Amino acid sequence: MKIEILAVGSELLTPFFLDTNSLYLTQRLNDLGLDVSKKIVVGDDRDNLLNCIQAALAEADLLLIMGGLGPTGDDITRDVCAEALGKKLVFREDILQKIEERFKRRGRDMPLSNTKQAYIIEGAEAFENKNGTAPGQWLVQGQTRVVLLPGPPRELKPMFEAGIWPKLQEWQKGTMVRKTLKITGLTESEVEGCISGLYPASRDLRLTILASPGQIEIHLTSFATEDWGVAELKIESLALEIGRQLEDHIFSSSGEELEAVVGRLLGEQKRTLATAESCTGGLLAARITNVPGSSEYFLEGFITYSNRAKNLRLDVPLELITSHGAVSYEAARAMAEGVRAKAEADFGLAVTGIAGPTGGTPEKPVGLVYTALAWDGGVDVEKNLFLGQREQVKFQSSQKALDMLRRVLQKTERMS
């Protein structure tokens, strides 16, 4: 079964836009156990588009074409597709009425140019567009199913779910289950070293690593022709083996981000948090407060960029800063203890470091970051050296601070 996705639009051939619809379509096709063989992007150019569609018709069992169904002169997908298929366009009064009604509901008259959207390729089934004017189309030519979809994601997705997805079920070869393991505290090569013996040999069980500074994701997909339970069993047993190798470096196996894991644990344990940030400049608190309901456990945060602020807000002694520096083990420790006391929180989390690009010295280079956690069990301070640009250093610093808190919270969870 050969599936091709063809995205039409000159803007997709500029340096500014990527075709992201195909990720969504791939995901939904994968859910049926179907793989995509090829993805193509062409502009709003008759000859190129005609060539592409003709070549795809000769090859593909399913051809998904998206974009170029709008009302303007640039939108030629409908016409060129009909030409490639050797079919006529037929006018559909019922579709025109729907488009006119859509405009009327918004108190406007339909521009004449929208009339062309009421034309359907001869023999095609039309799909209503709940979020726009261009209907979708589905037709069969020889052994190829051809699908026309509007380009805007908010029009394409609901139409695909309601109209196309049910028609593809007949090809379902089985069930697919997905699982994502999220890891921090290890490099990509460390993760690969740990799990190199676990790469599945079967095409039905797949492992993909997605790495970025501070976070590694292992994406597992399992496909079974039998039933859901078989696919589930295979993926869980692989995840278990990976878990044995990576242990508590895995912070999530359900899709949760680190700030959500920490937030959930804080909520469950009814404990509160306050933050003191220097080099992360608010990023740590911003991530914590991205979690809905974080006001339950997050009390407040201080961004103490200046030494004056570190002293006045967090009671970090000015002598300490003079003797050890604002970026030091001692300063991080004092910031964590200070914010915990000031906010009357269970946990005080602090970060101080040099995010770059300037401010580094041979003794204290760019990327040197101290992270500290104060709680009723004491104070932990970690010295880190992160690589990357300013924003990457900031992200990795916030990630490390959150991970220190996660480990303490999970220890409590295990002991209770």
Residue 288 as a binder of a second copy (CB under 8 A): the answer is: yes
Residue 52 as a binder of a second copy (CB under 8 A): the answer is: yes
Residue from the set 34, 195, 231, 283 that interacts with a second copy by CB under 8 A: 283
Sign of the torsion angle spanned by Cα atoms 147, 148, 151, 152: negative
Query: Of 344, 259, 355, 339, whose CA–CA distance to 304 is shortest?
Result: 339
> Min. distance of Cβ 319 from a second copy in angstroms?
20
Residue 20 as a binder of a second copy (CB under 8 A): the answer is: yes
Residue 14 as a binder of a second copy (CB under 8 A): the answer is: yes
Query: Of 70, 95, 65, 93, whose CA–CA distance to 81 is shortest?
Result: 65
Task: Name which of 194 and 211 has its Cβ closer to a second copy.
Answer: 211
Residue 341 as a binder of a second copy (CB under 8 A): the answer is: no
Residue 39 as a binder of a second copy (CB under 8 A): the answer is: yes
**Burial environment of residue 190 by CB neighbours within 10 A (0 to 12, 13 to 18, 19 or more):** middle
Residue 17 as a binder of a second copy (CB under 8 A): the answer is: yes
Task: Name which of 31 and 248 has its Cβ closer to a second copy.
Answer: 31
Residue 64 as a binder of a second copy (CB under 8 A): the answer is: no
Residue from the set 230, 233, 286, 320 that interacts with a second copy by CB under 8 A: 286
Residue 265 to residue 277: CA distance in whole angstroms: 22
Type of residue found at 183: I
Residue from the set 90, 210, 385, 387 that interacts with a second copy by CB under 8 A: 210
Residue from the set 59, 122, 226, 241 that interacts with a second copy by CB under 8 A: 59
Query: Of 384, 398, 382, whose CA–CA distance to 287 is shortest?
Result: 398
Buried b (16+ CB within 10 A) or exposed e, 98-132: bbbebeeeeeeebeeebebbbbbbeebebbebeeb
Residue 356 as a binder of a second copy (CB under 8 A): the answer is: yes
Residue from the set 88, 130, 219, 411 that interacts with a second copy by CB under 8 A: 219
Residue 153 as a binder of a second copy (CB under 8 A): the answer is: no
Task: Name which of 245 and 272 has its Cβ closer to a second copy.
Answer: 272
> Min. distance of Cβ 413 from a second copy in angstroms?
24
**Burial environment of residue 267 by CB neighbours within 10 A (0 to 12, 13 to 18, 19 or more):** middle
- Does 357 sit behind a cis peptide bond, omega within 30 degrees of 0 on the bond before it? yes
Distances (CA, A) of 76 to 142, 269, 363: 23, 59, 63
Q: Which residues bind a second copy (CB under 8 A)?
A: 11-20, 23-24, 26-27, 30, 35-43, 45, 48, 51-52, 55, 59, 208, 210, 219, 275, 277, 280-286, 288-290, 292-295, 298-306, 308-309, 313, 343, 356-359, 390-391, 394
